[in-house]
Structure 1
Amino acid sequence: MALRDTSLPEPSGPARCGTAPPLDPTDRGRLLAGAHHDPHALLGAHVVPEGVVFRALRPFARAVSVVVDGERRALASEGEGLFSGVLPLAGIPSYTLLVSYEDGEQEVEDPYRFLPSLGDLDLHLIREGRHEQLWKALGAEPMTHQGVTGTRFTVWAPNAQGVRVATDFTYWDGTAFPMRSLGAAGVWELFLPGVAEGTRYKFEIHSRHGHRFLKADPMARHAEVPPDTASVVHSSQYEWGDEEWMAHRGDVPVHVAPFSVYEVHLPSWRPGLTYRELAEVLPAYVNDLGFTHVELMPVAHHPFSGSWGYQVTGFYAPMARLGTPDDFKFLVDALHRAGLGVIMDWVPAHFPKDDWALARFDGEPLYEPGDDRRAEHPDWGTYEFDFGRVEVRNFLVANAVYWCEEFHIDGLRVDAVASMLYLDYSRDSGQWTPNVFGGREDLDAVAFLREMNATVYRRAPGVVTIAEESTAWDGVTRPTDSGGLGFGLKWNMGWMHDSLGYMEHEPVHRKYHHHEMTFSMVYAYSENYVLPISHDEVVHGKQALVSKMPGDWWQQRANHRAYLGFMWAHPGKQLLFMGQEFAQGAEWSEPDGPDWWLLDPAYGAEPDHRGVRDLVRDLNSAYRAAPALWQRDTDPGGFRWVAGDAAEDNVFAFLRYAADGTPLLAVSNFSPVVRHDYRIWVPEDGPVWEETLNTDAAKYGGGDVTNPGPLKPEDDGIRITLPPLATVWLTPYPC
């Protein structure tokens, strides 16, 4: 608390207040124990028949005086930090408190003279679970209240007997600052004058079972760097410079726009860099490679770095290891000014059991269900959210809005959606209870996801939500008003699993698995898809993308390049995890990050890794220049198989069409042999073709088997040379 020394003159003689009526013993006991619901009724100034009674709770103070109109009157000690007295006044005056400690004297405002700083509308919306800007009502909010600057502290803890604010300047003892209950909403509030940005704090909860414990603020907008666990008062001072980006990001719907995503784990992309230091290098690197978006693995505050961000304790605070919330805004701003969208992984499926965080927050199950069978997430040793409780749904829906509105996030990739949708997810018989219709669907989770998507799309135009959903749930990307979940896009986990399974086979065996590459087109238009080669596919013994490929090093790289060419041409948006853009051979390591030395000739790096990176750059460039590859991603008329049954040859060929009918022909040869004069069917009345991208080009590290001249259709086909383990793109030859 910001306190100031005072030099008020000592009174010329004894100047003491009259004796105050004693507190009711029960009230006194509850107040001192931190279990009173209305400390403002006991502390502060109140009119009594004798005048105005002043009562202050100042533990460790030697003396307390009340100062009215510059005149100081001493309060009598009632013991245990309580001081009181009566002045013969007709009404409550403006006053301050003069508190004497062993090391000096301080003049302070009395927190208990202030009216509630949270309005009735806020409380009504919180109780109804419909406060879409919840972060402006709960948490720590620096403000000016009744003409005094300070910080309003509010917290939802409906089962608590009492709540107090504990801070760094009280040495984590909350005795001096009990909060008041604001009624049926379950919200506790206290305005603390003089408390400024940077103050560390927690809430001291007194449960109805008589236990006391400290909890970090669920709505904290800033937090200490782990392993410290306190919340930090924060007021953003950031001035954005991305007005043009924000004004136009929704001009073209994502489904008919180029969408190529580079997935990044910020702490390990360049280990040791802060948000502001990353802003100097990340936008330039991603922009140079031609991606349209960056997807950030979870940025919300998490104490255990080994969780990669997926065990969140501070849902409203960017992780403090890399800087302040304003520093994170600086990074997002820099990405926007570089023309890059920012997607953030969002984790509403579960939260960890840390005793200082959300778990049993007010001494009871609050954010988690009361039924232990439903509360425990069987896969991760965490708690699931109680999606049936309106306040919990509000906490999460408002959180989604918060990142989009306060941090200008352009998209939310929602983690582990399948684990929310099914009551029996990873549970055996007897470990779950069917819904009211006897089914396995979690109807509360469905309602939450629909509400979240509808709210985000309404409040943040241009934002896209993306589901990581691994089952065949119907309508994940169907609008909510048509019975769907309302996501904009969904990760195509089936395509990822099948295509990687095909690629891992030796070419001689691939003909027996040909359907694994074609099956995706059976359901390609059932949802709006993203093709993900994410962090999940290059950890835990799964190997890096290039290391999944069979053959010697040359063949592995060739397979890698051919696969990327196939992926970029396939219907659906694409996502690639960091390190895979230059064919890193080692699995991703969270402490170490990508093997950047592979690109540096000074460390003996060979040009093959730089060649793969150059291919990714050219894939993105050609992709963005070819509307056929993105304008009709959700339209079956935008795709046509040319060779979908050439299993013996390990060849796949298909046409993609732009909205105006302009075609692009993609041909992949996943065998290690050159196929000369290979006939590919194309429409007889189609264009003359030219090769515009070949993953076997020498500049990418390939054998440079190319088709240098125009290719004219003859007898319903063209004759083409297919390089080994390569993908070729052809576009109409300009006349």
Structure 2
Amino acid sequence: MTPRPPSSVPGPQNRRPRTPTAEQPPRTPPASPASPAKKTATAKAAAKPTKKPAREEPAGRVGTAVVPALGAGDRERLSAGTHHDPHAVLGAHPVADGVVFRAFRPYALSVAVVTDELRAELHDDGGGFFSALLPLRDVPAYRLCVTYEGAVHETEDAYRFLPALGELDLHLIGEGRHEQLWRALGAEPMTHQDVPGTRFTVWAPNARGVRLAGGFNFWDGTGHPMRSLGSSGVWELFVPGIGEGELYKFEITPRHGDRFLKADPMARRTEVPPATASIVHTSHHEWGDDAWLAHRGDIPVHEAPFSVYEVHLPSWRPGLTYRQLADELPAYARDLGFTHVELMPVAEHPFGGSWGYQVTGYYAPTARLGTPDDFKHLIDTLHQTGIGVLMDWVPAHFPRDDWALAHFDGEPLYEHADPLRAAHPDWGTLEFDLGRHEVRNFLVANAVYWCEQFHIDGLRVDAVASMLYLDYSRKPGQWTPNEHGGRENLDAVAFLQEMNTTVHRHCPGVVTTAEESTAWDGVTRPTHNGGLGFGLKWNMGWMHDSLQYMQHQPVHRTHHHHEMTFSLAYAHSENYILPISHDETVHGKHSLVSKMPGDRWQQHADHRAYLAFMWAHPGKQLLFMGQEFAQTTEWSDTHGPDWWLLDPAHPTEPHHRGTRDLVRDLNTLYRTTPALWQRDTHPTGFQWILPDAADDNVLAFLRLDANGTPLLSVSHFSPLVRHDYRLGVPHDIPAWHEALNTDNARYGGSDVVHPHPVEPEPRGLHGRPASIRLTLPPLATVWLRPA
């Protein structure tokens, strides 16, 4: 049978490899890419070996002679995949009478030891085992010449190498403190004992045995058993001649049941789903964003301009790769004035319909759009364009796919052993056992990995509330209180604090953001003061209340005025970001503009007024793709935004293009107006002018920078035009200039604007010594600055 090269071997399904029988000859393993097969004269001579009777006597001495063949116990454990230390019995071992050589090469016809001075055939002991005692003083530098039916391969012996993982690494793994875990576990191409190859390591403490399967051995791990590195639970094998691009999985023999294949939890690259194999990877990307990294932490994020464009990469421009996206996304985000893009999860996930929120490959960007280096190129380009990159990170749960993390070594490992604690009640997934220090280490190191290796500027941590509460979505009897009798998940609190502390220590300038929907105290408080240590928190209360208000007809909004003012009562209790995210534009919630009542004109006017109110409100801003041009339909991950709405030939194009122009102007004014961001987290940065004009549907307030320079924001959520509307203002401003008006004709409005400066009158109002008179446009927000 002619062997297929590794590149043509499809990714394995989660099943045991078929064992060849006498009627079905074994396939010949391919030559290693790093060490092509060499057919020397001696190798050709060995192509037709004389088979010797199998020997089953145990290794050791019979009388005074050393017997090199393995005993029945070792043979059985190696064949069954349950040997914890194959290196102790395979390879070359000095004995009193010379050096014993043993090899386990299933399906081989013969095996010979080759050095510079000699070539010696090993005895065929049967069952794929070969051995010989050679009268040598020391173990020489040797290779194995392996003959299969129709092919001869000369290769290094994987079982002559010392462990390629150091004691310090094992100690840190055991302590759960290896902050660069990806350098110790997974597949690491390297030169070990002067030989190029790849070190494979995996944490599987409950396994009886672990073997390596891949394209290089036709997904039959029988001949590649790994060794256990003691109490660490880590298994290791250095395979010479294997390099980047090779497909692999770990073949695990559990304590109970049949063995199975698992993808590498630490894989840095994967096959394109639905294929599930891991791929050996080495990065060759050369970064060009030194200037960006040197200055991204100059100003603390809560005191800096921060407006975010949320993107689902696979559907932003469907069909584009990471590199193609790098040609379009940075320029688009920069043109609209956003400071950052936030990428919905990019870590590998099997089901595209999960949008990346059910992760199986925590250390690999999804292969759907390209390689890890392609993804680095996208981030690098964004940085060089002046755009920061945030990434959604999902440590709360993982899917149950049997080839991935679930029951990884045959028993609960990454998930909690208690089924009630392990099962996530809402999403059919499993929750991480955050009380296990190795699991915490896996996640903490993963957060550092994305920020350090991919230059990510921030992590938005998904579903924090589901982690913090033991009774989250659980009924009485489905959860157990903590040691203090409370419902707080103390393990999750400790994990989040450790993650934030570690990330900020390793990667200065990186911001972490919590999607936390409750009133948990101290989400953005420093950990040394008892907080969770996040830099920002999504203000889910503002989002819920304000959208509920906007969905009412203007005539009814007077009865819901508090839904727009309540957020200002707690706006400075945390460092907030105001999110209009993907969650608000799916599952029947409609797009942002479609939430608004009234006819098309009123919907677009409300949409514009709401965006300007959002940009003026204390806190940072996040807007999901498509909402920047008033996407009319719900978002779909299969086709993305309706870009055709911007076509000049479309009948409602002026509204959509006008909204995009508004967003550009909002971001431009925002970045150049410190009053809108400099004191977001300080009460001194905000002052009410008119909080209680419910009957008029009006909200007016001042934003102030560190020097006290104000910006006046007036929102009018009624379709009427209100003439001579008087508002109290500070006395020391000689005139006010209209900086922005969402009713401007260029945005699609009715053009009720203030073309000339507005001068105060010495008539006190709203607790102010002076006042101004404005004409309030219908369904509009107006910004005024000192002229």
Q: TM-score, normalised by structure 1?
A: 0.98
Residue pair 1:404, 1:460 contacting (<8 A) in 2 also: yes
Gaps of 5+ in 1: none
Contact 1:164–1:177 at 8 Å: present in 2 too?
A: yes
**8 Å contact 1:345–1:415 — kept in the other structure?**
yes
2:209 aligned with 1:162, yes or no?
yes
Aligned counterparts, 1:535-554, within 5 A: 535-554=582-601
Residue 722 of structure 1 aligns with which residue?
Answer: 776
Q: In the alignment, which residue of structure 1 is the partner of 2:502?
A: 455
1:252 to 290, 299, 316: 299
Shift of 1:49: 2.5
Structure 1 counterpart of 2:318: 271
What pairs with 1:692-711 in structure 2 (closer than 5 Å)? 692-711=739-758
Distance across 1 between alignment mates of 2:652 and 2:742? 21
Cα distance per residue 1:452-489 (max 9 Å; x no partner): 00000111000000000000000000000000000000
| SS of aligned partner of 1:377 | coil
Which of these residues, 476, 483, 501, is aligned with residue 548 of structure 2? 501
In the alignment, is the contact (CA less than 8 A) between 1:16 and 1:75 conserved in 2?
Answer: no
Residue 516 of structure 2 aligns to which amino acid in structure 1? E
Alignment of 1:203-222 (within 5 A): 203-222=250-269
- Give me the whole-angstrom Cα distance separating, in 1, the residues matched to 2:39 and 2:241: 19
- Partners in 2 of 1:315 and 1:15 — Cα distance? 50
- Deviation, structure 1 residue 403: 0.2
Aligned residue identity for 1:727: T
1:227–1:70 CA distance, 2 compared to 1 (3 A): farther
Work out whether residues 330 and 387 of structure 2, in 8 Å CA contact, stay in contact via their aligned partners in 1.
yes
Partner SS, residue 785 of structure 2: strand
Residue 287 of structure 1 aligns with an amino acid whose one-letter code is R
- Structure 1 contact 37–161 (Cα < 8 Å) conserved: yes
Secondary structure of the equivalent of 1:546? Answer: helix
C-alpha distance in 1, partners of 2:650/2:774? Answer: 40
Between the aligned partners of 1:587 and 1:500, the Cα distance in structure 2 is 16
Aligned residue runs from structure 1 range 435-450, under 5 A: 435-450=482-497
Distance 1:97 1:38 in 2: 20
Name the CA distance, whole Å, in 2 between partners of 1:537 and 1:295. 16
Root-mean-square deviation (CA, aligned residues, Å) is 1.4
Is 1:385 the counterpart of 2:423 in the alignment?
Answer: no
Distance in 2, matches of 1:171 and 1:530, equals 51
Contact map agreement 1:669 1:722 (CA 8 A) in 2: yes
C-alpha separation between the residues in 2 aligned to 1:417 and 1:725? Answer: 36
Give the 3-state SS of the residue equivalent to 1:10 in structure 2: helix
Q: Distance in 2 between matches of 1:210 and 1:593?
A: 44
Select 2:41's aligned residue among 2, 6, 9: 9
How far 1:24 sits from its partner (Å)? 2.6
Name the structure 1 match of 2:219.
172
What corresponds to 2:16 in structure 1?
none
Equivalent residues of 1:19, 1:76 under 8 A apart: no
Q: 1:99 aligns with which of 117, 139, 146?
A: 146
Other structure's SS at 1:672 match: coil
**The residue matched to 1:383 in structure 2 has which SS?**
coil
Cα-to-partner distance string for 1:80-114 (whole Å, 9 max, x where unaligned)? 21111110011111100001111211110000000
Alignment-derived partner of residue 517 in structure 2: 470
> After the TM superposition, which residues 60-99 of structure 1 pair with which residues of structure 2 at under 5 Å, given as runs?
60-99=107-146
User: Which residue number in structure 2 is paired with residue 732 of structure 1?
Assistant: 786
- CA distance in structure 2 between the partners assigned to 1:685 and 1:48 by the alignment: 96
The worse-fitting range, judged by mean Cα deviation, of 210-219 and 292-301 is 210-219
Amino acid aligned to 1:10: T
Which deviates further from its counterpart, 80-89 or 717-726?
80-89
TM-superposed CA distance for 1:26, in Å, is 1.7
**Quick one: distance in 2 between partners of 1:731 and 1:72?**
89
TM-score by length of 2: 0.92
Aligned letter for 1:6? Answer: K
SS at match of 1:251: coil
- Give 3-state SS (helix, strand or coil) of 1:5's partner: coil
Kindly indicate whether the alpha-carbon contact (under 8 Å) linking 2:591 and 2:631 is maintained by their aligned counterparts in 1. yes
Distance 1:307 1:70 in 2: 60
Measured after TM superposition, the shift of residue 208 of structure 1 is 1.1
Does structure 2 retain, via aligned residues, the 8 Å contact 1:205–1:214? yes
CA distance in 2, matches of 1:696, 1:289: 19
Does 1:36 find its partner at 2:36? Answer: no
**Paired residue secondary structure (1:286):** helix
Query: 1:134 maps to which residue?
Result: 181
Match of 1:57 among 70, 92, 104: 104
Name the residue aligned to 2:462. Answer: 415
Residues in 2 aligned to 1:22 and 1:503: alpha-carbon distance in whole angstroms = 81
Q: Equivalent residue for 2:345?
A: 298
Residue by residue over 1:248-292, the C-alpha shift from the partner in whole angstroms, topping out at 9 and shown as x without a partner, is 111111011000000000000000000000000000001000000
2:199 paired residue among 144, 148, 152? 152
User: Does residue 1:308 correspond to 2:355, yes or no?
Assistant: yes
Contact kept? 1:642, 1:682, Cα under 8 Å: yes
Aligned length: 733
Offset of 1:210 from its aligned partner?
Answer: 4.3
Deviation, 1:16, is 12
In structure 2, C-alpha distance between the alignment counterparts of 1:306 and 1:482, rounded to whole Å: 40
Q: Tell me the residue number matched to 1:597.
A: 644
TM-aligned CA deviation for residue 4 of structure 1: 2.0
Matched residue of 1:53: which SS?
strand
SS in 2 for 1:4: coil
SS at match of 1:366: coil
Q: SS at the partner of 1:98?
A: strand
Q: 2: distance between equivalents of 1:687 and 1:631?
A: 24
**Aligned residue in 1 for 2:385:** 338
Between 668-677 and 98-107, the greater mean CA deviation after superposition: 98-107
Q: Secondary structure at the match of 2:557?
A: helix
1:19 touches 1:84 (CA, 8 Å); kept in 2? no
Unaligned runs of 5+ in 2: 1-31, 53-64, 764-769
Q: Tell me by how many angstroms 1:19 deviates.
A: 8.0
What letter corresponds to residue 218 of structure 1 in structure 2? P
Shift of 1:578: 0.2
How far apart are the structure 2 equivalents of 1:145 and 1:370?
38
Q: Distance in 2 between matches of 1:408 and 1:579?
A: 26
* Secondary structure of 2:41's aligned partner: coil
Q: Secondary structure at the match of 1:321?
A: helix
Tell me which residue corresponds to 2:9: none
Aligned to 2:605: 558
Match of 2:690 among 632, 640, 643: 643
Once the two structures are TM-superposed, the CA of residue 140 in structure 1 deviates from its matched residue by: 0.1
1:47 Cα deviation after fit: 1.2
Paired residues of 2:51 and 2:124 also in contact (CA < 8 A)? no
Matches of residues 233-244 of structure 1 in structure 2 within 5 Å? Answer: 233-244=280-291
1:679 maps to 2:733: no
1:575 aligns with 2:629: no
Partner-residue secondary structure (3-state), 2:386: coil
Q: CA deviation at 1:21?
A: 2.9
Q: Match of 2:411, as an amino acid?
A: E
Separation of aligned partners in 2, 1:10 and 1:536: 68
Aligned to 2:568: 521
Residues 560 and 583, structure 1, Cα contact 8 Å, conserved in 2: yes
CA contact (8 A) 1:20 1:84 kept: no
In 1, distance between residues paired with 2:73 and 2:722?
A: 92
CA distance in 1, matches of 2:335, 2:39: 63
Query: What is the alpha-carbon distance in structure 2 between the residues aligned to residue 370 and residue 36 of structure 1?
Result: 26
Question: What one-letter code is carried by the residue in structure 1 that aligns with 2:776?
Answer: L
Note if contact 2:69-2:102 (Cα within 8 Å) is conserved in structure 1.
Answer: no
Structure 1 stretch 78-87 or stretch 392-401: which is displaced more? 78-87
